[in-house]
Structure 1
């Protein structure tokens, strides 16, 4: 499953790029993120890996994030791997004006188990909505300081 999400953020590109790479701040725009740990490589460098731990209700999920490409203030690409799912995410940032940035996020989800294949067939919209939520939560956090931590 492939899809693209685009969001206009009323902040300079340098601020957007810096916040996207700040794992400490992710708890403010990644609802459910409980912890993260550095696994290998250099953080925010190609090959660097982090383990992201989420809790959704009574369900726990661990995701391995691998940086696959980076150009400062332009693009950052990740692979996200969890039980039964491989997600390729390519993020592009473009200057709109001195105080506005256009973030385009291309996603491809590749199921690696039958149950995840079935989930993608039955609930493709739910996965896209979750991705959109993260982008808009990022926008709200960077623009007005609205944290998802206030809603958990």
Structure 2
């Protein structure tokens, strides 16, 4: 299963990328997700992290590996450049690749495009992939909307829960 989601954020690209790269901000916008680096430096190629995703009553533990970050230095990126941030996520019965691209949509606006690919193994996970493809897309879009609200207005998903 493959899908692409995108969102425009009313902040300069360099600021958006810096905020996304800062692990201290993750709890502010990653709803239902625990992210703990196992080795390496957060956000850099080769870094592995333990990720626990909460989807309703179900929790799934995965390992995330950063596979691409270009450029590696995020300061002073030329306007016409695209920032690439790719990662692989593996769990029992699921392999996923996420390829995020950040481009300048305007002087104070960033376009974030996220290409997502999932492969399922085992009968149960294949059924989940066949019966619930929209759930994966909705969760990706929700994370992007939560980040946008946090980046632009300081909205924290932990406070929004109620």
Deviation of 1:119 after TM superposition, in Å, equals: 0.6
Instruction: Name the residue aligned to 1:68.
Output: 67
Deviation of 1:56 after TM superposition, in Å, equals: 4.3
Instruction: Name the residue aligned to 1:2.
Output: 2
Instruction: Name the residue aligned to 1:43.
Output: 42
Q: For the residues of structure 1 that align with 2:91 and 2:152, how far apart are their CA atoms? A: 30
- For residues 77-129 of structure 1, the C-alpha deviation after alignment (integer angstroms, 9 at most, x for no partner) is 01111222111000000011221000000000111222111111111111111
Q: How many residues are aligned here? A: 151
Q: For the residues of structure 2 that align with 1:83 and 1:71, how far apart are their CA atoms? A: 29
Distance 1:104 1:57, change over 3 A: closer
Consecutive unaligned residues of structure 1, counting only runs of 5 or more, are none
Choose from 124, 133, 141 the match for 2:142.
Answer: 133
**SS of alignment partner, residue 30 of structure 2:** coil
**SS of alignment partner, residue 37 of structure 1:** strand
Structure 1 stretches (4+) deviating beyond 6 angstroms? none
Instruction: Name the residue aligned to 1:148.
Output: 157
Instruction: Name the residue aligned to 1:12.
Output: 12
Instruction: Name the residue aligned to 1:106.
Output: 115
Q: For the residues of structure 2 that align with 1:102 and 1:42, how far apart are their CA atoms? A: 26
Distance 1:125 1:55, change over 3 A: closer
| Length-normalised TM-score, structure 1 | 0.91
Matches within 5 A, 1:86-125: 86-125=95-134
Deviation of 1:57 after TM superposition, in Å, equals: 4.8
Consecutive unaligned residues of structure 2, counting only runs of 5 or more, are 75-82
Structure 1 vs Structure 2 CA RMSD: 1.5
| Length-normalised TM-score, structure 2 | 0.86
Deviation of 1:27 after TM superposition, in Å, equals: 1.1
